[in-house]
Structure 1
Amino acid sequence: MPIAGLYADYNNTVTVTVTYKDGSTEQKVLHLQTEELPKYIKNAKIVVSKNDKSKMDIGDNKLTLMNRTTKEPFAIDADGEVRWYSTNYSQHTIEQTDDGHFLILTKKNVDSTVYNDLIETDVLGRVYQEYSFNSKVKSNDSGNAKDETTVIHHDLLELPNKDILATVNDGSKYKEDVMVQISHKTGKIVKVIDLKKILPSSMYKNYKAGSDGKIDWFHQNAVDYDKSDNTIMISGRNQDMIMKLNYKTDKIIWIYSGKSKKSWPKKYLSKLLTPTKGTTITGGQHGLYQLSKDKNGENILLYDNNVDVTNGNKKTSGKYSQAVQYHIDTKKMTIDQTWAYGKSLGKTNFTNIIGYAERESNGNTLVDFGYKDNGTESNVIEVDSSGNQVFNVTVKNASSKVYVYRAYRLEFYPQGYVFDVNK
């Protein structure tokens, strides 16, 4: 029987209640002594400055999962106590599946720089499925094989048929502009979406290569799937652009970008959204996903870093970062900003990279200012619909690059949780 959420380095008291078929019950009290936390979690300084538990979305068994860019991820309660952690180092990607398991992008050797081992695991760390990706690719110049730090990079999700849709590097001179669907049965790639075949060639052919010799012209950092109409939404940080595609045909449904309409080829013009007055242009955004749909369109949420990478807002760039909700009218092809939080915090909570925003079941929004103060700390804030803070926690890094890429509020015993006693 899985027991999650215990206190570390403590003799926990657990009461187990068994209900028999005839309705009678029996109780037993267990005392479970746990080990101390791993050093990279133990050394992380966690400070909670606000925790109005009556207004937080914590339910019966919800914790805040800190998905750090490297080292072990962990989850805290409303008091900042670490109540769960994984011993697997992770990079960017932890996603909870419908059956309560976790998809974690990790590495087999903790001393390696390469994260190319994707595992499906549960709260007890038992592995149900493992996908290992070949990280050997040819370099651009010498032609010799070299290690890619990661094939999967920023995001992935589980499709309704249990296949994995992931953002990947394909080993070419371009990076972070391809998605693949991976069969959960065979591990083989069954679908490839190359954004170079969808967007104007001028976007990538004229983009300057980075210090690694790669052309990171799109930098896809989010993908979200809508099973109701078989579509995906994606975010491209380096184009300051979000877009929606038909997943079957790869055809564009809409695009939102600060790139001027006159600079787009004619065939794209009908797909461009027009912002209403007061609607912000996203800059270097992260974490795009759909909240809901209505008869006219859809509501979406994202974390706007507010960085002018190529087509962002030059006037406001660098002044603040924020969580933003938009309504997209797919009939009028307009986009309207309906809610935002973060601008009032100003430069103090500006983050030029990473970050996430998540809408909770009670209407609150959890906002991860993950790269605060140039990455020396991460600040996760939960606010209500009026922008009032109900939770505020700061995590100072235990070592370099251990900032919180995304923060999730998760049930650790979700309704669909499957515990397989044979694993």
Structure 2
Amino acid sequence: MENPYTKVNPYKDSPLTALVIFKTNKEAKVSYTVAGKTANTSVTNSVKGYHKTHQVPVAGLYADDNNTITITVTYKDGTTDTKELTLKTGALPKYIANAKIVVSKNDKDKMDIGQNKLTLINRTTKEPFAIDADGNVRWYSTNYSQHTIEQTDNGHLLILTKKNVDSSVYNDLIETDVMGRVYQEYSFNSKVKSNDSGNAKDETTVIHHDLLELPNKDILATVNDGSKYKEDVMVQISHKTGKIVKVIDLKKLLPSSMYKNYKKGSDGKIDWFHQNAVDYDKTDNTIMISGRNQDMIMKLNYKTNKIIWIYSGKSKSSWPKKYRSKLLTPTKGTTITGGQHGLYQLSKDKNGENIILYDNNIDVTNGNKKTSGKYSQAVQYHINTKKMTIDQTWAYGKSLGKGNFTNIIGYAERESNGNTLIDFGFKNNGKESNIIEVDKDNNQVFNVTIKNASSKAYVYRAYRLEFYPSGYTFDVNK
């Protein structure tokens, strides 16, 4: 412990992390604290279990700084030893350094930050990064990401990236951790055959907006299949072999008029559904999905692919008869979703479920024409699956008006203390992103604006994550 091995950026793609290794004569457990520059910005983590050889993954360093880290060793008899380290880090890369970060509100006592939570900035492109309550960058990856960063149960991160930052193709999915260590890699062929011509052509991405890890560790992802239709297919990818073991084509589930009558985009593709979210419920083997271009959310039985419910502003009479029993009826005052993002389930009860999403409130095809473009908001609904009704139980964003309207992207996340973190990702036509945390009474406790540093480097989603979580175990020998 007197002379530990230390290595900043041990895996060469996470520059604000370090690895500290040392031995003790007796078994002990270890914790560390990276000293914050102001109150409530220190990052403290503990390594699981008692050991004699200690591998301490340190996260939460400041950039271009001499960071002070205090290592605390606690023996089984309750005695302790401490060691103070100084770790030097380099400057931020330009696409993070040029993203001007301005915090206008940070009530740290009311924010959900705990001992080691940071706000992860998941951008549409360029390097993802994480900030503390002061807006200081405390983590970033040198891997460019696109849309997709998801934390798994064991604390790893699934990141859609690319091997060459100069390439336009994002077709490399890695399972990594905050240290930057890669555990698994899935590479996708960027050459796909068009169903129309049969000729191979470049796809800038196969996986696009969302993915998740299933209980058996397989990956469920939203994908493009190379046909003239795009963003309307999901696949399950085996984590053992990389093979596709299940395909869900939404064209086979929804009325053909939805996609056959939809206009082609400038790329020649038909983006009739534009799936931007998928959420899995292991208690009943179901998934919920969001389709921006139909202003629609729906729930499916994952085993049979049968529709359980649908919510959309599309009138009941315009649906074919076989779908009408699946349509949810909104209660008085319940918002019709428009171009929504980030749908996921909060909880279940005896009558149904509570869900949350980010409602862009733009009438793409079936949204609310009267309110479209006037505001965007985070919304919570209760769905009564017995009565087949949907009831709006909470919302925030309408009071901010047109200034926080975003016609694309965005996210809403319910925190462990009941707060809600909301990403108005495309504010001011994408020139900036505004992330706001509100408490249960809709009082702002955190407000940060991030000027987008380059084209398309918007904040696609913002997450409040533990760095690193309780399920995470680091072992340099594995």
Write the mapping of 1:20-419 to structure 2, written as runs, cut at 5 A: 20-139=75-194, 142-419=197-474
* Unmatched segments (≥5 aa) in structure 1: none
12-21 vs 113-122, greater mean Cα deviation = 12-21
Where 2:259 maps in the other structure, the secondary structure is helix
Where 1:149 maps in the other structure, the secondary structure is coil
Structure 1 counterpart of 2:372, one-letter code: S
Where 1:203 maps in the other structure, the secondary structure is helix
Q: 2: distance between equivalents of 1:253 and 1:341?
A: 28
Cα 1:121–1:289 shift into 2, 3 Å? same
Structure 2 counterpart of 1:353, one-letter code: I
| Match in the other structure for 2:8 | none
Q: 2: distance between equivalents of 1:206 and 1:418?
A: 51
Q: 2: distance between equivalents of 1:55 and 1:75?
A: 19
Q: 2: distance between equivalents of 1:171 and 1:95?
A: 24
Query: Would you say the 8 A contact 2:195–2:226 is kept in 1?
Result: no
Structure 1 segments of 4+ aligned residues over 6 angstroms from their partners = none
Q: 2: distance between equivalents of 1:280 and 1:38?
A: 42
For residues 9-47 of structure 1, the C-alpha deviation after alignment (integer angstroms, 9 at most, x for no partner) is: 110111101123443322111110111111110111000
Query: Would you say the 8 A contact 1:140–1:213 is kept in 2?
Result: no
Query: Would you say the 8 A contact 2:102–2:448 is kept in 1?
Result: yes
For residues 372-396 of structure 1, the C-alpha deviation after alignment (integer angstroms, 9 at most, x for no partner) is: 0000000000001111100000000
* Unmatched segments (≥5 aa) in structure 2: 1-55
Structure 2 counterpart of 1:197, one-letter code: K
Structure 1 counterpart of 2:323, one-letter code: Y
Structure 1 counterpart of 2:94, one-letter code: K
1:421 maps onto 2:460 in alignment: no
Structure 1 counterpart of 2:141, one-letter code: S
| Match in the other structure for 2:63 | 8
Structure scoring higher RCO (CA < 8 A, sep ≥ 6) equals 1
Relative to the length of structure 1, the TM-score reads 0.99
Cα 1:141–1:229 shift into 2, 3 Å? closer
CA shift at 1:141, angstroms?
A: 5.9
For residues 311-348 of structure 1, the C-alpha deviation after alignment (integer angstroms, 9 at most, x for no partner) is: 00000000000000000000000000000000000000
RMSD across aligned C-alpha pairs, in angstroms? 0.9
CA shift at 1:216, angstroms?
A: 0.5
CA shift at 1:397, angstroms?
A: 1.1
CA shift at 1:398, angstroms?
A: 1.1
Identity across aligned pairs (percent)? 90
Where 2:67 maps in the other structure, the secondary structure is strand
Structure 2 counterpart of 1:240, one-letter code: D
Q: 1: distance between equivalents of 2:313 and 2:364?
A: 11
Q: 2: distance between equivalents of 1:147 and 1:386?
A: 49
CA shift at 1:240, angstroms?
A: 0.2
Q: 1: distance between equivalents of 2:192 and 2:459?
A: 29
Q: Count how many residue pairs are aligned between Structure 1 and Structure 2.
A: 423
Structure 2 counterpart of 1:187, one-letter code: G
343-352 vs 142-151, greater mean Cα deviation = 142-151
Where 2:429 maps in the other structure, the secondary structure is coil
Q: 2: distance between equivalents of 1:26 and 1:123?
A: 27
Q: 1: distance between equivalents of 2:284 and 2:429?
A: 40
Query: Would you say the 8 A contact 2:196–2:227 is kept in 1?
Result: no
CA shift at 1:134, angstroms?
A: 1.0
Query: Would you say the 8 A contact 2:196–2:228 is kept in 1?
Result: no
CA shift at 1:137, angstroms?
A: 1.4
Where 1:93 maps in the other structure, the secondary structure is strand
14-23 vs 148-157, greater mean Cα deviation = 14-23
Query: Would you say the 8 A contact 1:301–1:326 is kept in 2?
Result: yes
CA shift at 1:140, angstroms?
A: 6.1
Query: Would you say the 8 A contact 1:256–1:273 is kept in 2?
Result: yes
CA shift at 1:252, angstroms?
A: 0.5
Q: 2: distance between equivalents of 1:400 and 1:124?
A: 27
Q: 2: distance between equivalents of 1:394 and 1:74?
A: 14
